[in-house]
Amino acid sequence: MAAPRQRLSGPLAALLLLAPAGVAPTASAQVQAQTAVLRPQVVAPLAGGLDGVLVLNDNNPELITAPGILLSTFAPTGRAVPAAHLDVAIEGRFDLFSHHVYAGKPETQDSTLWLAVVAEPRGSKAVTLRLLNGSTALSQSLDPSQPGAPFLPLPTLMPQGLSPVYAGPGSRVATELLSRYRTPLIPAQWTLAPGAPSTLLVLPIPVRGLDPLLNGRNLQLRLQSDGPLSVATLAAFGPNDRPPPADTWATVLAGGLSPREHLASPRGAPGPITYSRVSGVQRGSVWTGRLTDPGQPYLSAGRAPISWPIASLLRGTLGTAQGRAQGVLSRNGLGRPWQLRRRIRPDPSAAQHRAEAHHPAVGL
């Protein structure tokens, strides 16, 4: 992918609303084009920083075409394909983010891809793994027991109330995660015996009855272990109405990687840049910051319109010189929750008040 063109040379940006190129303008679009709105807006660097929580980021490949290992932190010693394992011990607080798409098999319109999460203690003692909160959803679901979240058009602004506000599985899962929701599809706790992997979850991505034959699943978990673990996410084909046999996952873990998508350009490489999805372990789950005026404990409403990028890229910093792409500690081959606290002062003479805002985003 070619490098994105940098249109903002500084923190003062102009937003120009125009009709898309190559589309025949309607009468209303012609009127809008004649009355284009030019609005100056400040884009400022985001204050704060990431915590130190490890995140298993399982997003490459996005489109799964064959069975195999998606992400593995197991040790490579004694494995048939050592390069498929990252050898990272996971202990204490950590997160798992997984997002994949399945488009069926060419020879049939009736197939299901199954995803599994397995874990094994790194040592001779059993380990207890607790689910703090987590959720999962399909983009299309014909089964009432499997939450779904189709991509639907939504208004620009909607209040979060009794009616759910989301479009797509990632949107639903992030919304439920930020509300501290824990889906009943996932156990609250596992006791993992040493010596062999234990299967934590097995979840389907079906395409039977869908038009087009395309489905996706988003899974986000916040976890706590009382000992060191190896964790892996795996993919395998299986029956439509039940998971594959239990011994399938040991066979998959003993094999190689599911085919990867393209690789990203090395950090700092000259020339055009290629971004990619990630399969690896990164440090940083939640970004916490306080939005204020420079040197003040409050944010003046008089500075509006003002914005802060939460998903900027290495060459798409919107004039802030601040990229949100987080370095990966170890990779095979993005939805990070954001928590921002602000104190707003509408007017220098007005009283101060506090508010807390949460926003889901995916980096890398």
Q: 187 and 249 in one domain?
A: yes
Looking from the CA of 338 toward its CB, the CA atoms found within 13 Å total 23
Among candidate residues 238, 253, 268, the one where a domain is terminated: 253
What span, in angstroms and rounded, lies between the C-alpha atoms of 361 and 338? 7
Q: Are 159 and 209 in contact (CB under 8 A)?
A: no
In a shared domain, residues 246 and 124: yes
Does any domain span residue 272? no
Q: What single-letter amino acid sits at 83?
A: A
Same domain, 71 and 218: yes
**What does the pLDDT average to over 100-127?**
95
Lowest mean pLDDT among 37-41, 80-84, 223-227, 233-237: 37-41
Q: Can you tell me the distance from the alpha carbon of 261 to that of 131, in angstroms, rounded to the nearest whole number?
A: 30
Say whether pLDDT at 22 is over 90: no
Range of the domain at 349: 37-49+279-360
Instruction: Kindly report the number of other CB atoms within 10 A of residue 37's CB atom.
Output: 8
pLDDT per residue as tens digits for the range 53-64: 999 999 999 999
Amino acid at 287: W
Is 6 within a domain?
Answer: no
Which DSSP state fits 63?
A: B
- Given pLDDT bands bounded at 50, 70 and 90, which one contains residue 318? confident
| Residue 187 maps to a domain | yes
Residue that is last in its domain, among 209, 237, 253: 253
User: How does strand 215-238 pair with strand 198-206?
Assistant: unpaired
Q: Are residues 208 and 153 in the same domain?
A: yes
Nearest to 119 by CA among 23, 226, 218: 226
Q: Do 66 and 209 share a domain, yes or no?
A: yes
Same domain membership, residue 301 and residue 230: no
The percent of residues in the chain predicted with pLDDT above 70, rounded, is 79
Q: Does residue 145 fall inside a structural domain?
A: yes
C-alpha angle 265-312-41 in degrees, rounded to nearest 5: 145
Predicted model pTM: 0.78
- Can you give the pLDDT at residue 164? 74
- Pair (225, 296) in one structural domain: no
Residue 45: pLDDT over 80? yes
Name every residue whose Cβ is closer than 8 Å to that of residue 243 and which is 6 or more positions away in sequence.
114, 202, 204
% of the chain at pLDDT higher than 90: 49
Whether the CB-CB separation of 262 and 307 falls below 8 Å is answered with: no
Does residue 238 sit in the same domain as residue 297?
Answer: no
Structural domains counted in the chain: 2
How distant is the alpha carbon of residue 253 from its chain centre?
24
Residues 248 and 285 in one domain: no
Q: Is residue 9 part of a domain?
A: no
Structure tokens at 307: 């914005």
Mean pLDDT of 165-181: 90
Residues 6 or more apart in contact with residue 68 via CB below 8 angstroms: 234, 235, 252, 255, 256, 257, 258, 259
Torsions phi, psi for 63 (to 5 deg): -85, 115
**What is the token pair recorded at 101?**
């798409």
Residues 321, 240 share a domain: no
Residue 190 lies in a domain: yes
Segment 264-299, tens digit of pLDDT: 777 778 888 877 788 999 998 988 888 888 888 888
Contact criterion met (CB below 8 Å) for 100 and 233: no
What is the C-alpha separation between 253 and 24, in angstroms, rounded?
Answer: 53
Across 316-339, b (16+ Cβ under 10 Å) vs e yields bbbbbeebbbbebeebbbbbbbbe
Q: Quick check: 326 and 52 in contact, CB under 8 A?
A: no
Q: Does residue 55 lie within any of the structural domains?
A: no
Give per-residue pLDDT as tens, 189-246.
Answer: 999 999 999 999 999 999 999 988 999 999 999 999 999 999 999 999 999 999 999 9
Same domain, 45 and 91: no
The answer to whether residues 110 and 143 belong to one domain is yes
Amino acid in the structure at residue 80: A
| Domain contains 43 | yes
